[in-house]
Amino acid sequence: MKNYISRRNFLKTAGAATGAAAALGLTGAPLAADGLFIAPEKHPITILYTNDVHTYIDNEAPELTYANIEALKKSYEDADMDVLLVDAGDHIQGTAYGAMDKGASIIKLMNSAGYDLATLGNHEFDYGMDRILTIVNEEADFPYISCNFKDLRTGRKVLPAIKYFWRGGRILAFIGVTTPETITKSTPAYFMDAGQNEFIYGIDGGDDGQALYDAVQKAIDEAWLYADFVIGLGHLGVDGSSSPWTSREVIQHTVGFNAFIDGHSHTVMAGETVRDAEGNPVLLTQTGCYLGNIGRMTIDTDRNFTTELISSTNVNPFNETLILQTDWINAVDDMLGEKIAESPVNFYINDPVTGDRLIRSQETNMGDLVADGIYAYFNEIEQLDCDIAIMNGGGIRADVPAGDWTYMTCKTVSPFGNVACLMSVTGAQIQNALEFGARYAGSGQENGGFLQVAGATYEIHTDIPNTVQTDDQNVWTGPATGTPRVQNIKIYNKATGAYEPLDPARTYNMAGMNYTLRSLGDGFAMFDGATLVKDYVSEDYLVLSSYAMLFNGGSITSANSPLADYAGYLLDYENPYGAGRITLL
C-alpha cells in the first residue's frame, strides 16, 4: 500500500508531533520529554461494525440487539483489547421504534452501547435536514463523518471527512462516504431552501462518478499525512442500480484504502478483496441488515486485515442499554394500541367456511387490502405513479374480525418488518413474477410467494404444467419454457379507468416489499436490472396503518376507500374471496 506522505516523515520535530496529536484529538499517544513520538508497542486492533440496522431493536435471543453490542464491546475492553465500534448508516429510520420520536431513542441506545463513530446513510435524512443536524450536533455522543456531503452555499463540507483514533499503538483514519443517491432516495425538498427554489445542500457524485472519486481521493491523501491505516466507512452498497457510486467502484477508482466498511445494499459480505486503481488489495465488508450480524475487523501486528460476521453472542446483555431498549419498546408497543380505524368487515387469510389457509394459493379480501395499502401508499401518500403493487401471501399472517383496528392489528397482519419500495420494471418481469408466484396454484401445495395484487388482474390456468426454471434452492432462473400458466394479465390505467393488457416491452412502476423486489425473498430473482424509484419508504405494518387511516370516516369498507374514487377499480372487501383480481381456471 502506497503511503503518500508518511506520518513518520511528517512528524519530524517535537512541535509537529505535539501539534499533530492535539490537532487530531488523539489522547494517550506516547510522546517523550522532547515531544517526539516514542515507538509504541504494537497490539492487535478490533473494529466492531454495524450497518442498516433500521431501528430493529426488538430482536429476540439469539438475535442481536444494541444491548448485545454494548456487552460485546465491554467484554473486549475488560480483556484489555484495543477496540472501536462504528456504524455505516441507516440506523434511525425503519420501524415505529425510530419513527415515534424521529430517531431520538435510537441515538440514546447507540450512545449507551458505546459507538465511537458513524457515517450518514440516506435514511438518516428522512426526518428532514434540521433533524439530522440536531442529531449530529446535539444528541449523538459519537461523531459523524462524510467527505462528500456539502453546503452548496459555502462549498464547505457539512461534516468532517476524517476521524482519527489511536489504537494498538497506531493511528487509524476513517473516511466517511455518503451515497449520492441520498437526495432522491430520501426527500429532495430537504436539501433545498425554504421556498424549494434551489438546492443548498448536495452530495458529490457526478454522472460518471468522478466527483465522488475525487472527494474520496482528496480525503485519502489527507488521511495518509498522519495515519498508519486508512479505512472507508461508507454507505454506498454494491447494487448495480447504484452504479457508478458503489463501494467497489469507489475503491477501483481511488488509491489508499486498506479496508472499506460498507452499507446501503443490505449485502451479507464477510469480506471481499477489491483491487484499487493501482492494484492494491482492499478488504470490503458489509454485515447485511437489521442487526442480523455484527462485523468484526481485526488488524494484527503485521498489518494484516481480517473480517468475520457474528450472528450471536454469548456475552451477558444485562446492562444500561438493555434497560433503555426495553423501556422504549414497551412504550412504543403501548402506543401501538391506539385505535386508528374500525371496520364492519371480517378480513380473511383463511377460508371462512373450512378454515383452510387460502392466502398462499388464491385471492382473499385481506390479500386485496394489504396490496391496496401498498398501491395507495405510493399513489396517495408518496404521490408517485404506481401501476401495480404485489404482496407475497407468506407476508400476510392473520385474519382480522370486524371491530377496531390499531397499529398492533396491522403489526399482527404484517409482522415481519419488511419495507416497501417502488421499482421500474418491464412487463416481461411482471409476467415472470406472477408466473413464478403461481407455479403451485391449484396443486394443493402452499406457496408463500403467491402474489396478491393491486392495480392488476390475471388468470392462472391450473391445468397447464409449471415450466418455470429454478435452481436447486428454488430460486427463479428463467421464464416458463412452455405455455405460461398465468395469462390475460391486465394493468389498471388510472387515466382511462380500464384494465389494459400487459405490454411485455413497456416499463411499469411496481411497488412491493424489499423482501420480494430486492432481496430474493421466496426466490424472486427476476427483477435483476430493474431501476429503483423509491426505496425504504416505510415498514410493512406502517404502510397498512397509513392506508387504514385514509378511509372516509375511519371505517374500512370498499365504499370508504380512497381507491373507490378510481373509476373502474376493482374493490370488494366485503367478499372474503376478494374482488376477482385473480381467477383460477
- Alpha-carbon gap, residue 226 to 229, rounded angstroms: 9
- Per-residue confidence (pLDDT) for residue 341, from 0 to 100: 95
For the stretch 323-379, pLDDT in tens is 999 999 999 888 888 899 999 999 999 999 998 889 999 999 999 999 999 999 999
- Per-residue confidence (pLDDT) for residue 7, from 0 to 100: 43
CB atoms within 10 A of CB 305: 20
Which residue range forms the structural domain that includes residue 540?
Answer: 338-584
Residue 185 has pLDDT above 80, yes or no: no
Residue 157 has pLDDT above 70, yes or no: yes
Residue 409 has pLDDT above 90, yes or no: no
Residues 300, 390, single domain; the answer is no
Beta bridge partners of 555: 342
Which residue, among 370, 344, 379, has the nearest Cα to 562 in the 3D structure?
379
- Which cell goes with 330? 414497551
- Per-residue confidence (pLDDT) for residue 94, from 0 to 100: 75
Residues 44, 32, single domain; the answer is no
Rounded average pLDDT over 243-272: 95
The angle formed by the CA atoms of residues 221, 223 and 229, to the nearest 5 degrees, is 110
Residue 74 has pLDDT above 80, yes or no: yes
Rounded average pLDDT over 219-245: 92
Task: Please state, in angstroms and as integers, the Cα–Cα distance from residue 294 to each residue in 49, 64, 83, 209, following that order.
Answer: 6, 8, 14, 30
Rounded average pLDDT over 273-281: 96
Weakest mean pLDDT among 23-27, 387-391, 461-465, 514-518: 23-27
CATH number, domain of 372, equals 3.90.780.10
The torsion of the CA quartet 528, 536, 261, 225, rounded to 10 degrees, works out to 110
Residues 363, 298, single domain; the answer is no
Residue 359 near residue 450 (C-beta atoms within 8 A):
yes
Residues 260, 399, single domain; the answer is no
Average pLDDT, whole number, for the chain? 88
Please, is 65 exposed, middle or buried when counting C-beta atoms within 10 Å of its C-beta (0-12, 13-18, 19+)?
buried
Residue 314 has pLDDT above 90, yes or no: no
Residue 150 has pLDDT above 70, yes or no: yes
Segment holding 486, helix H or strand E: strand 486-493
- Per-residue confidence (pLDDT) for residue 16, from 0 to 100: 42
- Alpha-carbon gap, residue 396 to 411, rounded angstroms: 10
Which residue, among 197, 279, 257, 236, has the nearest Cα to 119 in the 3D structure?
236
| pLDDT class of 205 with cuts at 50, 70, 90 | very high
Which residue, among 294, 293, 272, has the nearest Cα to 283 in the 3D structure?
272
Beta bridge partners of 294: 310
Rounded average pLDDT over 482-504: 96
- Residue in this structure with the C-alpha cell 416505510, named with its chain if needed: 538
Residues 359, 255, single domain; the answer is no
- Per-residue confidence (pLDDT) for residue 62, from 0 to 100: 56
Instruction: Give the residue ranges of DSSP H helices in 415-512.
Output: 427-437
Residues 30, 45, single domain; the answer is no
Residue 20 has pLDDT above 80, yes or no: no
Q: Among the three residues 313, 330, 347, which one is the final residue of a domain in this structure?
A: 330
- Per-residue confidence (pLDDT) for residue 5, from 0 to 100: 39
| pLDDT class of 463 with cuts at 50, 70, 90 | very high
- Alpha-carbon gap, residue 294 to 317, rounded angstroms: 15
Residues 121, 7, single domain; the answer is no
Number of domains within the chain: 3
| Percentage of residues in the chain having pLDDT higher than 90 | 66
- Alpha-carbon gap, residue 317 to 69, rounded angstroms: 8
- Per-residue confidence (pLDDT) for residue 4, from 0 to 100: 45
CA 196 to chain centre: 27
Residues 422, 549, single domain; the answer is yes
Residue 69 main-chain phi, psi, to 5 deg? -65, -45
CATH number, domain of 136, equals 3.60.21.10
Residues 25, 90, single domain; the answer is no
- Alpha-carbon gap, residue 93 to 95, rounded angstroms: 6
Q: Among the three residues 261, 295, 330, which one is the final residue of a domain in this structure?
A: 330
Q: How many residues can be counted in the chain?
A: 585
Residues 315, 363, single domain; the answer is no
Residues 447, 345, single domain; the answer is yes
Residues 323, 350, single domain; the answer is no
- Per-residue confidence (pLDDT) for residue 286, from 0 to 100: 97
